[in-house]
Amino acid sequence: EIVLTQSPGTLSLSPGERATLSCRASQSVSSSDLVWYQQKPGQAPRPLLYGASNRATGIPDRFSGSGSGTDFTLTISRLEPEDFAVYYCQQYGSSFTFGQGTKLEIK
Amino acid sequence: EVQLVESGGDLVQPGRSLRLSCTASGFIFDHYGFHWVRQAPGKGLEWVSRIGWNGGTIAYADSVKGRFTISRDSGKKSLYLQMNSLRTEDTALYYCAKVSCSASSCFLDLWGRGTLVTVSS
């Protein structure tokens, strides 16, 4: 089973700053299988990026993704107040495991 | 309206059974695969099970294999999760989610609001 490890566990930033979230896999993952989700308190997750870098419907272009092999990154170029949430990566391939999440909080 | 609505969550004793349902509306149910994903209180997301658009390609997480069974009913536009031999560690909010695929990439594009399962004596 592929294990996804996200870092940092918590990221404290201010609106307007740039956020960089990491997702590392225990073995190589195809870029086409890497997905990012956002979850706000009391809400279901919603997809942000699929295939590592493709934005899902309605996702603003301040969200971008990159990476390959075992290292993937979600970048939020300029944080808006509504971006403070928990972010999960998932590999949608041989199994469907999620990372443990990164909480993005207001500094 | 395009949505998924879960139901069936309850408080049950360890060792008992429960069946969750997820009813779809607003899209062609038969065209899509579905997953169950759970979230223990205050914890992260844990993938539970998946079923393909035609009822095939079924898979389970090791933590539920042999105890949980996923199924679907096209006539009722519904997805199910039969949960047997429940354990306290199965306590969680259970989400159903629909699969969307674009080119060679798939992801969970539509989620329900979840149904809460509490396993406790």
Distances (CA, A) of B19 to A62, A93, A102, B7, B118: 41, 27, 32, 9, 13
Calculate mean pLDDT across residues A24-33.
96
Is the CB of A61 inside 8 Å of chain B's CB atoms? no
Chain B contact probe: residue of A50, A95, A97, A103 with most B CBs at under 10 A:
A50
Amino acid symbol at B85: S
Tokens of B44: 């992260």
Whole-angstrom Cα Rg for chain B:
14
Question: Where residue B24 falls among pLDDT bands split at 50, 70, 90?
Answer: very high
Tokens of A98: 């999620």
Q: How far apart are CA A65 and CA B31, in angstroms?
A: 28
pLDDT attached to residue A95: 84
Question: Where residue B114 falls among pLDDT bands split at 50, 70, 90?
Answer: very high
Per DSSP, what are the bridge partners of residue B38?
A: B46, B94
Write phi, then psi, for B30 (nearest 5 degrees): -70, -10
Question: Where residue B22 falls among pLDDT bands split at 50, 70, 90?
Answer: very high
Which of A88, A79, A69, A74 is closest to A27 using CA atoms?
A: A69
Question: What integer best gives the mean pLDDT of chain A?
Answer: 97
Question: Where residue B56 falls among pLDDT bands split at 50, 70, 90?
Answer: confident
Question: Where residue A94 falls among pLDDT bands split at 50, 70, 90?
Answer: confident
Do B55 and B71 contact (CB within 8 A), yes or no? Answer: yes
Provide DSSP, A10-58: EEEE-TTS-EEEEEEEEEEE-GGGEEEEEE-TTS--EEEEETTTEEPTT
Q: How far is CA B102 from the centre of its chain?
A: 22
Residue B36 has pLDDT above 80, yes or no: yes
Burial (0-12, 13-18, 19+ Cβ within 10 Å), B119: buried
The sign of the torsion formed by the CA atoms of A78, A81, A84, A90 equals: negative
On chain B, the residues whose CB falls within 8 A of the CB of A100 are: 44
Q: Do B112 and A44 touch (CB under 8 A)?
A: yes
- Count CB atoms within 10 A of the CB of residue A2: 16
A44-90 tens-digit pLDDT: 999 999 999 999 999 999 999 999 999 999 999 999 999 999 999 99
Chain B contact probe: residue of A49, A92, A102 with most B CBs at under 10 A:
A92
Do B117 and B12 contact (CB within 8 A), yes or no? Answer: yes
